[in-house]
Amino acid sequence: MGLFTGKKGLVLGVANDFSIAWAISKKLHEEGAELGFTHLPGDKMERRVRKLADPIGAKLITPCDVQKDEDVARVFAEAKQTYGQLDFVLHSIAFAPIDDLKCSFVNASREGFKTAMDISVYSLAIVARNAAEVMPDGGSIVTLTYFGGERVVPGYNMMGVCKAALDASVKYLAFDLGPRKIRVNAVSAGPVKTLAASAVGDFDKLGGLYEMAAPMDRNITREEVGAAGMFLLSDLASGISGEIMHVDCGYNVMGSPGRAVEKVKGLILSKVEAANPDLAASLRNDEELKRL
């Protein structure tokens, strides 16, 4: 018997098998959860999600446009008809127009900002409002955020501002829904290669940075994020609400590059040594280099 045996939930935002939402869904399924899924409108997105959801016996696979209140309401009405009630909801939805995401935030357009905030932030509020109506016995809602909402991450640009708003939304929704025994939390994962991450400038560099600077000397795995999301949705986290859980090998606690400086210095010296051993020996004894 698994942690989620007899429990039913809805997952919004799976794009493909690289999605963090899918990593969490797999863990939920392994623990006995019965899952329903939404997808972006269109046959192509439906095929992508069905490819993953059909093999695990999903009874509900339906389109959802989170920019339309009536569409979100329809989705949860279908969930109620299919499952009776829900125990958890996983929200994994974010979007910004590519031109506004690629440019610096100071140059982002007003319309792009409205669109990004509507889809990436307000969608959690409208989803939570409707989810609460099919959670008569309480439940858990988890969304996905990123450290770029807490600190500046070059290349994250407008999405960082959206994630900051999303983090605040988690806390206010936790307060609003707490009396109804509904918990609201977020998972803040380190760099994971997903369809969404591919649109972020400098993303390829972030994994290496985490490996260099994180206290655990490595980046996280998709499976670790999946397990953390599953935990927050489970009864094991029954006393946790309004939290931003960092799954980043400790990267978020660092106030300096830490051991990354020594690692970079070592890499530079090893490359120099391969080309010019005498120069490398001189550099190793250089007092200025030692102080770096």
Active-site annotation holder among 83, 156, 210, 251: 156
Q: What is the pLDDT of residue 211?
A: 86
The rounded distance, in Å, linking the Cα atoms of 163 and 153 is 12
The candidate with the shortest Cα–Cα distance to 192, out of 23, 38, 41, is: 23
pLDDT digits (tens), the chain, 292 positions: 899 999 999 999 999 999 999 999 999 999 999 999 999 999 999 999 999 999 999 999 999 999 999 999 999 999 999 999 999 999 999 999 999 999 999 999 999 999 999 999 999 999 999 999 999 999 999 999 999 999 999 999 999 999 999 999 999 999 999 999 999 999 999 988 654 545 555 556 665 778 888 999 999 999 999 999 999 999 999 999 999 999 999 999 998 787 766 666 566 556 656 666 665 556 556 544 554 4
Reading the block at residue 150, the tokens are 């807490």
Active-site annotation holder among 146, 172, 210, 251: 146
State yes or no: is 83 an active-site residue.
no
Distances (CA, A) of 206 to 127, 152, 158, 218, 228: 31, 13, 17, 11, 21
User: Which residues, other chains included, contact 41 with Cβ-Cβ below 8 Å and sequence gap of 6+?
Assistant: 63, 64, 65
Q: What is the pLDDT of residue 149?
A: 97
State yes or no: is 172 an active-site residue.
no
User: Which residues, other chains included, contact 47 with Cβ-Cβ below 8 Å and sequence gap of 6+?
Assistant: none
Alpha carbon distance, N-terminus to C-terminus of the chain: 55
Reading the block at residue 281, the tokens are 């020996």
- Whether 25 contacts 4, CB under 8 Å: no
